[in-house]
């Protein structure tokens, strides 16, 4: 691994209220590259995160809606927030080597 591949460390903590805190510690090489990518790194990170969350949220809504349509139970569709918060994350098995 090079310092380019290990340009940051991340800590992620899930809070008791369901929210979470994420901290990114970026080394000098990563910092310089981030400054080249974005004039405002905070805005870049926030926009990147928000776009990924929006896309995943839309996917959860779509898969839930498709499932309810298949079951002829679309009337059971809940609000966007409730659908996402009640979504059950599929189990993730470790990769086999």
Query: Is this structure's pTM higher than 0.85?
Result: no
3-class SS at 25? strand
Are 39 and 31 within 8 A, CB to CB?
Answer: no
Are 65 and 74 within 8 A, CB to CB?
Answer: yes
Kindly state the average pLDDT of the residues 78-84: 96
Mean pLDDT across the chain, nearest whole number? 92
Are 12 and 22 within 8 A, CB to CB?
Answer: yes
Q: How far apart are CA 75 and CA 81, in angstroms?
A: 16
> How far, rounded to the nearest angstrom, does the alpha carbon of residue 71 sit from its chain's CA centroid?
29
pLDDT at 10: 94
């Amino acid at each position: 691994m090079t310092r380019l591949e290990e340009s940051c460390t991340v800590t992620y903590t899930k809070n008791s209220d369901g929210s979470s805190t994420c901290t990114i510690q970026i080394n000098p090489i990563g910092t310089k590259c981030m400054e080249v990518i974005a004039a405002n790194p905070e805005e870049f990170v926030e926009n990147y995160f928000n776009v990924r969350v929006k896309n995943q949220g839309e996917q959860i809504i779509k898969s839930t809606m498709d499932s309810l349509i298949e079951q002829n139970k679309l009337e059971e569709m809940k609000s966007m927030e409730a659908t996402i918060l009640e979504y059950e994350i599929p189990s993730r098995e470790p990769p086999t080597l």
